[in-house]
Amino acid sequence: MGTGEPFTVSYEAELDGDWIAVPPGFPYGRWPDARSWASDVAARAFGAGGAERGRFEEAALALTAGLPPHVDQVVWYAPLDGGPTGVAFMTVADHDPQVAGAEEWAVLGITDSLTPAQVTRYPSETFGQVVQSATTFRPTSGPDDQDQPVAGRIRTVAVGQTAVFYLETVSTDLALLTRMQPGLVAVVDAVRELVIEDES
């Protein structure tokens, strides 16, 4: 979670449907360990048993291995219709006075895109707007760049009172990214910023 003096910034997000927030560590809430969380998630999705539940539980468990550097939350796109799953990474950053707003955050640091960034703005009652950028790049490079797979990157950004929230996902399955795009906007729009005055 980001920090901004003299405040501590945290957040919460209510997710529904095909989106699941992965706990950042264990014990967490009522779950003493990762296996108990994965089992609970699978039971809510598929009931008492069956092969689908087992696969879902193992996939959920794999996501608890640890947060990547500079990531505050892993959000899992896991449609119950059995379609492809995806993972998005939420980062909470301090305001940077040199970055003007959500549109600039949506493309900040992206220098490897093969195509101009497609930037879309969505109205938000909480943030005023949520901004989403779509870019493409080659995850690997070599002497035959044209033969390397192309990946898509979707970054979804909202600027809060004291922090910036951005959710990013990358995949070579461009059709999957297209299906995820509306949900990524909904996840960011569901964030509620908690600003706690630092009494220290």
- Residue-range definition of the domain harbouring residue 81: 3-24+67-195
Structure tokens at 128: 């005023």
Structure tokens at 11: 């957040």
pLDDT at residue 137 is higher than 70: yes
Burial track 131-169 (b if 16+ CB lie within 10 A, e otherwise): bbbbbbbbeeeeeeeeeeeebbbbbbbbbbebbbbbbbb
* Pair 56, 45: CB distance under 8 Å: yes
Residue 17 within a domain: yes
What's the confidence (pLDDT) of residue 10?
61
What are the tens digits of pLDDT across the range 62-118?
999 877 888 888 999 998 777 889 999 999 988 777 777 899 999 999 998 999 999
Helical axes 51-62 vs 34-46, angle rounded to 10°? 140
Q: What is the pLDDT of residue 99?
A: 76
Q: In this predicted structure, what is the pLDDT of residue 144?
A: 60
Give the C-alpha separation, 187 to 67, whole Å.
18
Residue 51 lies in a domain: no
The average confidence (pLDDT) of the chain is 85
pLDDT attached to residue 122: 97
CB–CB of 153/178 below 8 Å? no
Is the residue at 47 inside a domain?
no
Residue 148 belongs to a domain with what CATH number? 3.40.1000
Higher pLDDT, 11 or 62: 62
Domains held by the chain: number? 1
pLDDT at position 2 over 70: no
- C-alpha 101/C-alpha 67 separation (Å) is 26
| Calpha distance 42→69 (Å, rounded) | 27
Write the pLDDT tens digit of every residue in 20-34: 989 888 898 899 999
Establish if 58 belongs to a structural domain.
Answer: no
The percentage of residues in the chain with a pLDDT greater than 70, rounded to a whole number, is: 87
pLDDT at 140: 75
Contact 86, 77 (CB under 8 A): yes
On whether residue 45 sits in a domain, the answer given is no
Q: What is the pLDDT of residue 16?
A: 74
Spatial neighbors of 72 by CB under 8 A, at least 6 apart, are: 1, 2, 24, 90, 91, 92
Tell whether 141 is covered by a domain. yes
What average pLDDT score do residues 118-142 get?
91
Instruction: Determine, yes or no, domain membership for 60.
Output: no
Is residue 145 one of the residues assigned to a domain?
A: yes
